[in-house]
Structure 1
Amino acid sequence: MPIPAEHPVLTDGVVTLRAPRPDDVQGQVERHLEDPQRGFGEDDARRWIGYGITEAWKTGERLVFVIEYQGRYAGTAALKPDSDGNARLHYGLSSWARGAGVMSRAVRLLLEFGFTTCGFHVVHWWARVGNWPSRRVAWATGFRLGEMIPALAEEGGRRVDAWTGWIGPTDPRKPRRPWFETPVLESPRLRLRAWREDEIERIAVARTNRATAHFLPFIPQPFTAEDARFWLKDLAEQAAAGRRFNWCLADAETDLGLGNITLFNIYRDAVRDAELGYWAHPDAQGRGVMTEAIERVARWYFAPETEGGLAGRKLLIRTAATNTAARRVAEKTGFHHAGTERAAFRLDTHLDDKVTYERLSSDPLPSRPAKEGAHQNDQPA
């Protein structure tokens, strides 16, 4: 289908995509002032609004729309056609309009225009790794996220790695999987929250120890600051892919990180089961921290969705048969020994038996409050 000679007006009743107007100049300037490294000034904005967008449309080089929200300029969204009948998606939003779903609405309008009016076969997207707002929009509008491509693009004079994605004309314009937002959970002594970048050294120390090396041999030893940074990035990737929840167990008074709990292998179809893994900082061992934390996570996991939980059915803990500390934590938090698989858990020196513990939503709560369960426990599971 031919590209229209002039900008159509696209709207969903909240967001409007339209041609540029002279009164958009100030909004364009303000948006680029938010990113001073781009060096985009008022003269550049006037040329882009008054001439550049229109000329790019006429030549078919780039189909750019101004995004209007609440009656004012909010950013731009564009499709860049290629010689194969496809297009690449570009977008940028002013800070004042962020957080209200404006860009997701704009992208859905643009995709409908691109597929229905222009007849594009596929629309591609990429963003620099770490540009989470851009990735969030791609996720929200139904893009199939592909591989991370090293050094795909140049930004600020250097090559950068990029996330990639694509969408077709018949694909739904909504998320394909959940994006997990780790909830903050409180218990008498703990605040379960996300890890922060300023806790790199504490993570490295916690994951560098003899028990970790023995029971979790896939974790590098020593666990360096660079390993910790990679681990934090992977946590964000896993959450964005709807695969894992992860909590730092922080002291409720000091906010000092004491350990970690991961909820993974989450099945959210007809049967809702998941698995727990955990480790503690040496400072926290012997204080019952992990039993208190696991009990809090379990209560959230089994809680109905109407109460902010996951409405889970079963929780599993799997560990080495000789990991008596991890097994003690499972037993103190109401998990039942469900079975043993021989020679199925790899340690640093040999194959150990693997024990599985499970707890159902219908199981009674542990007979003793988790905070009373102090013991020399809390080793890796």
Structure 2
Amino acid sequence: MTLRAPRPDDIEGQAERNAEGGRYRTAEDARRWITFGITDAWKQRERLMFVIEYQGRYAGTVALEPDVDDNARVHYGLSAWARGAGVMSRAVRLILEFGFSTCGFHVIRWWARVGNWPSRRVAWATGFRLGETIPDMAEEGGERVDAWTGWIGPDDKRAPRYPWFEHPILETPRLRLRTWREDEIPRITTARTNQTTAHFLPFIPQPFTAEDARFWLKDMAEQAAAGRRFNWCVADAETDQGLGNLTMFGIHHGEVRDAELGYWMHPDAQGRGVMAEAIQRVAQWYFDDEGFGGRRLFIRTAGTNTSARRTAEKAGFRHVGTERAAFHISSHVDDKVTYDLLATDYL
């Protein structure tokens, strides 16, 4: 992979990439950009752009856009045929070195429309610190869109700062643990709108609307990308219908290696031992050295939440403590009970 100046034979590749992104309508736009657009941007110091050459052909571009404070914003785009091989991450690392060492920039910024996961993946892989999500930051297709933001300094490592959790698909004879789909929003809203949830988890909106469900799905994806949470849809292995949700959060690495579990069920799936079975399958993966390699799982719930307590006990967790008046529910502050399971208990 090489970063270089544009050449006439890059025009066809630029036109193909423009067509993929829907940015330009004609091949003439690509010809103008390759022939003199990039050069003019350099001369005016508006955008310091390189062509990415991969496998001997045009693959995309990467650029730095300087600002008046001697900082810059990074831009990048890659042709579809070159994706999935780490090309853009390598290109961004090279231009970061150029920006800090040759140009003397103090900070290089990145932002992308919320939902542009390929761009965020590159920023993650090259060591950017994730900043705030800014509402209505940019315009796209005539509409204002929210944007992820990030930044990196000259002394920062050009490598991920935290893991990006990829959800394994876990199965039992009757269950499949996978991620939720957008077409399952009605199933989620029905499961989350009920008196029990309102009582034991009063911070959850009631009714739980489709908009709430979409926000929740987006948040789960962002937390996985930030190395904070795993979240599985517990589905029927035969019909693939979502039966409930199992989440793992508060994950500690290093010597502690523990994590907390939370769960909820759709009303029509309760009373069948589904969640206890799902928890046991997650525990198997979590404690396995070839899975997550964890040491301890724990569950905390309200003392009067007999259903959640029964599920924890059925899954093999032990009651290890009670904190008096430590769990807020809708009617009062309840006791908080803790259950745990150790790798040594399970194996």
Q: Give the structure-1-normalised TM-score.
A: 0.90
Q: Which structure is richer in relative contact order (CA contacts within 8 A, separation 6 or more)?
A: 1
Residue matched to 1:294: 279
User: 2:144 and 2:302 mapped to 1: Cα distance?
Assistant: 44
Q: Which runs of 5+ in 2 are unaligned?
A: none
More moved, 249-258 vs 148-157: 148-157
SS in 2 for 1:266: coil
Whether 1:310 and 2:295 are equivalent positions in the alignment is no
Kindly provide the amino acid, as one letter, of the partner of residue 312 in structure 2.
A
Q: What is the Cα deviation at residue 253 of structure 1? A: 0.6
The number of residues matched between the two structures is: 347
Kindly provide the amino acid, as one letter, of the partner of residue 340 in structure 1.
T
Residue matched to 1:240: 225
Q: 1:139–1:364: structure 2 CA closer, same or farther, 3 Å change rule?
A: closer
Q: 1:261 aligns with which of 237, 246, 257?
A: 246
Q: What is the Cα deviation at residue 40 of structure 1? A: 3.8
Whether 1:134 and 2:137 are equivalent positions in the alignment is no
Deviations 1:168-214 (A, max 9, x none): 11100001111111110011100000000000000000011111111
Kindly provide the amino acid, as one letter, of the partner of residue 19 in structure 2.
L
User: 1:82 and 1:347 mapped to 2: Cα distance?
Assistant: 51
Kindly provide the amino acid, as one letter, of the partner of residue 271 in structure 2.
G
Q: Which runs of 5+ in 1 are unaligned?
A: 1-14, 366-381
User: 2:41 and 2:34 mapped to 1: Cα distance?
Assistant: 11
Deviations 1:277-316 (A, max 9, x none): 0000011101110011000000000000xx2x11111000
User: 1:123 and 1:352 mapped to 2: Cα distance?
Assistant: 48
Kindly provide the amino acid, as one letter, of the partner of residue 318 in structure 1.
R
Deviations 1:207-248 (A, max 9, x none): 111111111111111111111111101101111111100000
Q: 2:202 aligns with which of 206, 217, 226?
A: 217
User: 1:364 and 1:26 mapped to 2: Cα distance?
Assistant: 59
Q: What is the Cα deviation at residue 364 of structure 1? A: 4.1
Q: 2:325 aligns with which of 339, 343, 363?
A: 343
Q: 1:54 aligns with which of 13, 30, 39?
A: 39
Q: 1:279 aligns with which of 248, 251, 264?
A: 264
Deviations 1:337-381 (A, max 9, x none): 11000011111111111100010000046xxxxxxxxxxxxxxxx
Q: 2:100 aligns with which of 100, 115, 121?
A: 115
Q: 1:63 aligns with which of 48, 71, 91?
A: 48
User: 1:247 and 1:331 mapped to 2: Cα distance?
Assistant: 20
Whether 1:41 and 2:26 are equivalent positions in the alignment is yes
User: 1:364 and 1:226 mapped to 2: Cα distance?
Assistant: 39
Q: 1:364–1:183: structure 2 CA closer, same or farther, 3 Å change rule?
A: closer
User: 1:150 and 1:221 mapped to 2: Cα distance?
Assistant: 25
User: 2:267 and 2:84 mapped to 1: Cα distance?
Assistant: 40
SS in 1 for 2:104: coil
Whether 1:74 and 2:56 are equivalent positions in the alignment is no
Residue matched to 1:159: 144
SS in 2 for 1:217: coil
Q: What is the Cα deviation at residue 86 of structure 1? A: 0.8
Q: What is the Cα deviation at residue 333 of structure 1? A: 1.1
Q: What is the Cα deviation at residue 35 of structure 1? A: 2.2
Whether 1:23 and 2:9 are equivalent positions in the alignment is yes
Q: What is the Cα deviation at residue 56 of structure 1? A: 1.0
User: 1:202 and 1:238 mapped to 2: Cα distance?
Assistant: 22
Whether 1:194 and 2:176 are equivalent positions in the alignment is no
User: 2:139 and 2:288 mapped to 1: Cα distance?
Assistant: 47
More moved, 250-259 vs 39-48: 39-48
SS in 1 for 2:310: helix
Residue matched to 2:211: 226
Q: What is the Cα deviation at residue 74 of structure 1? A: 0.5
SS in 2 for 1:363: helix
Q: Give the structure-2-normalised TM-score.
A: 0.98
Q: 2:80 aligns with which of 87, 95, 98?
A: 95
Residue matched to 1:270: 255
Deviations 1:27-75 (A, max 9, x none): 0000111122x23420010000011111111221111100011111100
Moved segments of 4+, more than 2 Å? none
Identity of aligned residues (%): 76
